[in-house]
Amino acid sequence: MFLTTLNPRVAFGPALPGNGSWEWNGADLAESLSGVFETVTFEREIPSCDVLVVVKFPPSLEAIRAVASKAAVIFAPVDYYGSCAEIDQDALMLRQCARIVVHSPRLAKYFRSYVPVQGLDHHVRFINSPDEERPSDGPILYVGVRSNLPALVDYVNEHSLPLELVVLTNPEDPARSPTAKDYGFHAHDRVRIETWSPEAHQAWLKRASVALDIKGTNFRQRHKPPTKAVDFIASGLPLAVNSDSSSAEYLSEMGFDVASPDDPERWFSNEYRQETVRFGRALTELYSRNRIAHRWARLINDVLMERRGE
């Protein structure tokens, strides 16, 4: 049962155009849910609303308390916290929330003592058809912000990759094109640095033969959502990730045995490519924007009904 007849107002923010977490969980969701609720977005001043969805960066404790006295607060701290201690420091703020939405199952245990937790995924966003033909000699594709590159650099410097690696990232100075050497890669001639944009992302998905993702060992890296992995596989691009990563664990629980970069025979095999395409078709539907929006609508409806004592 959805409370659509009452036309609840749902506010999403703080709006940060260009930020991946905001684009996925704020801008896209607000647009997708506009047919179910009255949705608004905000940058700083929180508007009057029935439900506040805070994406990644929470307002002050005082602001959250003021909203929580009149509306239900849902907090989605995507990649926000860098340690358990940081989560505990926000205990007073967390207790004001009706739900915490985690995008990595590993994070749920840290919030359960404060407030009910809901696991929700990102929708697939940067994908091509999983059935699209791929060049067998195309490069290896990596996509990630520059703060995530150290783990990749360390891995590549210690291992030999069979093909050129293309790294799509966001340079600190957009006016200057960084080189592989600038980022610390030893084999400069085997690594190509490209500036990320939605258009470049889609173009390299067509040119690449496989994808690579390497997660580090700090708190954020160990609790990353599997977004990139899901997008790569939904595109039919054979992916390799380190076996101790949150993405590998998540995909394993879904029934997909993702390849390890230390096992290139499987990573580059036709059998694994076909397995990726089959699973990619399922992910394209399971993680479609409409399906994820529907799950969010049910969550929002649940917190509204709880607040009204229904």
pLDDT of residue 60: 95
How many Å is the Cα radius of gyration of the chain?
20
Question: Looking at residues 194-212, what average pLDDT do you find?
Answer: 95
Look at residue 306 and give its three-state secondary structure. Answer: helix
Question: What does pLDDT average to over the chain?
Answer: 94
Paired tokens of 143: 């996509």
CATH tag for 4-122+289-307 (out of 1.10.1060.10, 3.40.50.2000, 3.40.30.10, 3.40.50.970): 3.40.50.2000
CB atoms within 10 A of CB 198: 10
- Give CATH 3.40.50.2000 domain extents, the chain: 4-122+289-307, 140-286
pLDDT of residue 6: 66
Question: Looking at residues 256-280, what average pLDDT do you find?
Answer: 96
Q: Convert the pLDDT of each residue in 23-77 to its tens digit.
A: 999 999 999 999 999 999 999 999 999 999 999 999 999 999 999 999 999 999 9
What b/e sequence results for 116-133 when a residue is b if at least 16 CB atoms lie within 10 Å of its CB, and e otherwise?
ebbebbbbbbbbbebeee
CATH for 140-286 is 3.40.50.2000
For every residue of 267-303, DSSP letters joined together read HT-HHHHHHHHHHHHHHHHHT-HHHHHHHHHHHHHHH
pLDDT of residue 90: 97
* CA distance readout (Å), 150 to 18, 144, 159: 22, 11, 14
Cα dihedral sign, 148-213-163-206: negative
pLDDT of residue 310: 53
Q: Does pLDDT of 3 surpass 50?
A: no
pLDDT band at 4 (very low <50, low <70, confident <90, very high): very low
pLDDT higher at 187 or 215: 215
Look at residue 141 and give its three-state secondary structure. Answer: strand
pTM as predicted? 0.92
* CA distance readout (Å), 105 to 89, 206, 226: 21, 31, 10
